[in-house]
Amino acid sequence: MAIGYVALVLHAHLPFVRHPESDYVLEEEWLYEAITETYIPLLKVFEGLKRDGIDFKITMSMTPPLVSMLRDPLLQERYDAHLAKLEELTELEVEHNAHNGHIRYLAEHYATEFNEARQIWESYKGDLVTAFKQFQDSNNLEIITCGATHGYLPLMKMYPQAVWAQIQVACEHYEQTFGQAPRGIWLPECAYYEGVERMLADAGLRYFLTDGHGILYARPRPRFGTYAPIFTETGVAAFGRDHESSQQVWSSEVGYPGAAEYREFYKDLGWEAEYDYIKPYIMPNGQRKNTGIKYHKITGRGLGLSDKALYDPYWAREKAAEHADNFMYNRERQAEHLHGIMQRPPIIVSPYDAELFGHWWYEGPWFIDYLFRKSWYDQGTYAMTHLADYLRAQPTQQVCRPSQSSWGYKGFHEYWLNETNAWIYPHLHKAAERMIEISHLEPEDELQWRALNQAARELLLAQSSDWAFIMRTGTMVPYAVRRTRSHLMRFNKLYEDAKIGKIDSSWLEKVELMDNIFPNINYRVYRPLT
């Protein structure tokens, strides 16, 4: 019998980026890269584990923006064309490097990889949501929800209706997608504030994830720290991130992804190849970009990009197996130690961004595959579990009040509220006030009904924490600023038109086409809570 549990939790999220008004927008490729490098490789791992009789257990959030984009026919069509370009480029690379042995070997590796991606993509007819759902139906994957647009909840708590809309719209979208109510929620950015658990309970959620110090500094101090969930006073359970297992994967200093054998992310064919050769495969305006084809390995710390050695997938896969074995060994020792102290089965919660596995850390899906296989065959100290299953097996937990927290820099809210992005919040707060105000309107006709619902969509899209995050990181800032401003401007026009009862129908139709998330939304979700 296992004396402990390990819960691997992946957070699959991307902001809603969809531009039918343009033939090409670079930011749409965030989705295409994640499909090729993370979501399809994860499905390949799950299929292999299932085929080989390994009863794996993994939890994964699939946020409403991601689900909406994965199911969007326009984006599916554009991804298909994106993948075709990659297939064409790798075929060209194989031919171009006929007399360059190692590069040809790597080009053939990518050609095989993209061909397998094509097979998986077509086997599910481009519907990866249904692909993941089949593993939920077999109880191998537990899919949980998130905020409707990943809004940063502690920074909107002065408007409880806005927080409620983020939670309720997400739960309704989940049920429409997966045919059942969600049991758990990944709080956006793992950001918790006291009182949000009441809304989670009202929405029917059983548990949420937060950062470790949100549990460690709960009142009273939890007896078992982060190694058991706590129940809030509403009955909703809180699971905290385990620092030790997180550091082994996340840390830039000691984490696995920094190994010399692994693929170098920042040295890409799109920047390395001769311009005339690569031009058909970069941006239409001729600017270079990443292609996803990378021929070099990390090699060693402190080396410049020009000093990187050639990558070898064989040795990288061996290193991934070694790291999976190390992760397993450490979780065994951790579970033994904790069980000896707690005298009950601990749970080690290991949450990560899903896109770390495959996109940022190319070998990440191999690591997951090896970890499940080794955990299944090579040890009996811990069992992999879903969070909901753990709660069913361990229904008695300490009641505490978690502490405000997030998993961002310094652990609170500073990353999303600082000198780079503070300007957005007065506008977001005013828009929330206005949305609450017009939620009391009763539409006179279908046109006004559509306008009120679109206003709710625009506010939700403006509230995405991704825009503030991007402004803070300093990458793609103009796009984040533009998205925040455009959604707010659209919202304010809809507000003003709804107030006077004159809706610009042709303009509304264009906006509905562009921002078509949550087709079944009801603007009354913003009415004051009772």
User: Which residues participate in catalysis according to the annotation?
Assistant: 189, 353
Length of the chain in residues, anyone? 530
Q: Is 258 annotated as a binding residue?
A: yes
- Provide φ and ψ at 60, rounded to 5°: -145, 130
- With H, G, I as helix, E, B as strand and everything else as coil, classify residue 217: coil
User: In sequence order, what are the residues at sequence separation of 6 or more whose Cβ sits closer than 8 angstroms to the Cβ of residue 287?
Assistant: none
Q: Is 407 annotated as a binding residue?
A: yes
**Beta bridge partner(s), residue 8:** 350
**Beta bridge partner(s), residue 58:** 141
Other C-beta atoms closer than 10 Å to the C-beta of 423 total: 11
Distances (CA, A) of 432 to 156, 162, 163, 362: 9, 6, 10, 40
| Residue type, position 276, single letter | D
Query: Greatest CA separation found in the chain?
Result: 73
> How buried is residue 217: exposed, middle or buried, by Cβ count under 10 Å (0-12/13-18/19+)?
middle
Distance CA 111, CA 177 (A): 33
- With H, G, I as helix, E, B as strand and everything else as coil, classify residue 515: coil
- In eight-state DSSP terms, residue 401 is B
Distance CA 367, CA 127 (A): 25
Q: Is 331 annotated as a binding residue?
A: no
- Would you say 175 and 387 are in contact if contact means Cβ atoms under 8 Å apart? no
Cα torsion angle, 147, 149, 153, 157, sign: negative
Cα torsion angle, 81, 86, 87, 89, sign: positive
Count Cα atoms within 13 angstroms, Cβ side, for 30.
Answer: 18
| Residue type, position 376, single letter | W
User: In sequence order, what are the residues at sequence separation of 6 or more whose Cβ sits closer than 8 angstroms to the Cβ of residue 195?
Assistant: 157
Q: Is 466 annotated as a binding residue?
A: yes
- Would you say 230 and 402 are in contact if contact means Cβ atoms under 8 Å apart? yes
Q: Say if strands 230-231 and 184-186 run parallel, antiparallel, or are unpaired.
A: unpaired
Sequence ranges of the binding site: 241, 258, 407, 466
Annotated binding site for substrate: 241, 258, 407, 466
